[in-house]
Amino acid sequence: MQITFQRLDKELPIPQRAHEDDAAIDLYARVGVTIEPGQRFSMPTGIVVEIPLGHGGLVLPRSGLAVRSGVGVVNGPGLIDPGYRGEVAVILINHGEEPVELSRGDRIAQLAVVPLPSVQWVEVDEVSDTVRGEAGFGSSGA
């Protein structure tokens, strides 16, 4: 599959996988910023992507950034719809106890493109029964 993209900032690296068998590409910080504990920041990435019809772009946190500094993606995963043509931004949050400094060009998130089926919603009077039934949060004992 080919994904068409536009670089709004030619000084940032071309989006790519760190390893050939990685599931997602890295997204880079377009600006430097210090994120205080508990603070959110909408980080521009300098790219516009054309997600193919029938697919979605999932913006995912980077595990290394999370474990080192406590920075994650607020709405992780974020979703890029096929019709969106604006700059991809990542809503970061500092869950740590210290300010975190991000520099321009740092890898701050990942983008995975996944197939999404076309779904038709059908209203019914009752849904089918299952063994689990209405058992919700914590029902598996974990």
pLDDT, position 76:
83
Q: Report whether 28 contacts 106 (CB < 8 A).
A: yes
Give me the pLDDT at residue 139, please.
Answer: 74
pLDDT number for residue 54: 96
C-alpha 112: how far from chain center: 8
pLDDT at 141 over 80: no
CA-nearest of 105, 91, 119, 117 to 35 is 91
Is 4-10+22-115 a CATH 2.70.40.10 domain?
yes
pLDDT tens readout for residues 52-98: 999 999 999 998 899 999 999 999 899 999 999 999 999 999 999 99
For residues 74 and 93, is the Cβ–Cβ distance under 8 A?
yes
Task: List the beta bridge partners of residue 7.
Answer: 47
Output the pLDDT for position 142.
61
Question: What CA–CA distance (Å, rounded) separates 116 from 113?
Answer: 10
Q: pLDDT by residue (tens digit) across 11-60?
A: 999 998 989 999 999 999 999 999 999 999 999 999 999 999 999 999 99
CA distances from 71 to 82, 122, 136 (A): 27, 40, 29
Q: 63 by DSSP, 3-state: which?
A: helix
Helix and strand numbers, DSSP H then E, in the chain: 1, 11
- At 112, give phi and psi (nearest 5°): -115, 135
Could you tell me which residue, 132 or 84, shows the higher pLDDT? 84
Among residues 123, 86, 125, 61, which one has the least CA distance to residue 5?
Answer: 86
